[in-house]
Chain A
Amino acid sequence: MGSISFRNVDKVFGQGTGGVKALDDINLDIADKEFVAIVGPSGCGKTTCLRMVAGFEAASAGSVLVNGRPVTAPGPDRAVVFQQFALFPWKTVRENIELGLRNKNLPVGERNDLVASALKLMNLETHVEAFPHQLSGGMQQRVAIARAYVLDPEVLLMDEPFGALDAQTRVVMQEELVRLARHNPRTVLFITHAVEEAVYLADRVAIMTRRPGRIKEVLDIKAVRERENWDSHARIEDVMDLESFVHLRTHIWKSLREEKGFKDV
């Protein structure tokens, strides 16, 4: 089980008159095993939404619930994949992936099995003993995703995970994530400013306004995807050519264009 709920969530950074309101009355429910992407202009507070679910930030008003319980602190039930990977530079690929399992005090045998399957899942078997700096950005992000997946978290929180990757690598990672998400669905909150990425990956896309961020609109992608059978196309570019895809993408684009702060492409 892994549902996420934002209930009338406000977030103010700073105090008193100097405080800046980053989020204004956010309401969003993400069902178990649902993949929801939040898109929005830079600085609209989308990452802050994720950080509140992770337990890195507290809401100023309202509540953030995971499985109906308020979030109080970070924990392995809510695994995070960061934009800048945040791998431990002094740990090997194996050691990075293993840390969360060691923290759970799993017996060595079970731990090794889980690490092996995570390595296989992300095609990392040939880089087990490498250090992060020896890997490309794409490989580093694979390690970070493996580190999150191996925990078997209730929810997976991905904060612009492909934002730091080059275009080709990003496409490969997006295709892989779709493969993972469709075959082994789990609750994902995915933050991005790339519209196509959001439409391609998510079951639903929430569009935010510029600061102070509010949820402007939530689009059901899954219904269109299943009706138009997107998953019969293996390649991302084929999906992106479909009329139904283009239609959704353009709709979101227009919606974001109305927000003055939107500059990212």
Chain B
Amino acid sequence: MTSPSLGFRETMLLGLAGLASFIGLWSFLSVSGIVPAQFLPGPLDVASRFFDLLTAPFAGATLPAHLASSFQRYAYGVLLAAAIGVPLGLLMGFFRLLDDIVTPLFDGLRFIAPIAWVPFAALWFGTGIGGPIMIIFAGAFPPCLINAYRGARFVEPRLIEAARMLGTPSTRMILEVLLPAAVPSIIAGLRVSAGLGWQSLVGAELIVAAAGVGFMMVQAQGSVQTPTVMAGMIAIGLVGMLIDVLLRQGEGWLRRRRGLES
């Protein structure tokens, strides 16, 4: 069964309808009193709290300041994941021995949720910047590695043969054949990494003692300020969407550029 494809306007309208029904149901549940306010704050309470937080500090900072602090940790974590994951993935795609050594270990480790690393992250790297970065790293690392690996491992065999026939040494093989061939796969991996890294943020900030949107939510939870917790959730969702949209644009731009060039 296939559904007919819809135009841009129809798609937008359907999306808005979905959002409106969600908010409608939410309003109904909270305003009617079916769910008590301390369990489920109403949309208006949350919205007004959200806008308050843009200027009024909570737990030492305004919402934008918390977000800025979070984003810094996040950027370090994701960049570190890319800086290690992509080269390691490429090397594993080329050197069978390295593949055989790393893959079984990695296949086990990657199923451990980032949040499970919280105790050890705090123990090993402290609750300042190191611990949270490690947790974001744990979330963002696997797609970086897997996609670089797959991109390098499944390069068209003819191209590898051509390069070998031309006497290409290993370093050049990786930099000038595997890497460019793997670029689309690597970019797709980075986009997934960026999303997973952002998802790991609240977990990472459970152990932060200063600032960050996750920290703000933990503080609010402690004093049962549910609208503040939910405002934080909305902020995380919005920023996550923004990151994804921007990276999608970047990926599209890169694909078009490669379409012209390769």
The chain A residues found within 8 Å of chain B, CB to CB, are: 54-56, 73-76, 78-80, 82, 84, 86-91, 99-100, 102-104, 131-133, 147, 151
Contact = CB atoms under 8 A, between A and B. Distances in A.
Interface residues of B, number: 20
9 contacts: A55-B165, A76-B166, A76-B167, A79-B166, A84-B158, A86-B156, A86-B161, A90-B181, A100-B166
Given A74-B165, A90-B181, 16 more contacts: A54-B161, A73-B164, A74-B161, A74-B164, A80-B161, A82-B161, A88-B162, A88-B176, A90-B180, A90-B261, A99-B166, A99-B168, A100-B167, A132-B262, A147-B166, A151-B166
Given A89-B262, A103-B172, A131-B261, A75 B162 contact: no
A104 B261 contact: no
Contacts of B53: none
B159 interface: yes
User: Interface on chain B toward A: helix, strand, loop, or mixed SS?
Assistant: helix
Contacts, number: 63
A99 B163 contact: yes
A24 to B, nearest CB: 25
Contact of A86 (B159, B167, B172): B159
A13 to B, nearest CB: 15
A86 B166 contact: no
B15 interface: no
A88 B166 CA distance: 12
A81 to B, nearest CB: 10
A75 B261 contact: no
Q: What are the nearest 8 A-B pairs in CB distance?
A: A100-B166, A86-B158, A76-B167, A89-B262, A86-B162, A103-B167, A90-B180, A74-B164
B58 to A, nearest CB: 50
Interface in B157-199: 158-159, 161-169, 172, 176-177, 180-181
A82 B167 contact: no
Nearest to B179: A90
A103 B180 contact: no
B140 to A, nearest CB: 26
Q: Which of B161, B162, B163, B166 has the most CB of A within 10 A?
A: B166
Nearest to B169: A103
B151 to A, nearest CB: 13
Contacts of B180: 88, 90
A103 B166 CA distance: 7
Given A86-B158, A88-B177, A99-B176, A54 B165 contact: yes
A68 B156 CA distance: 32
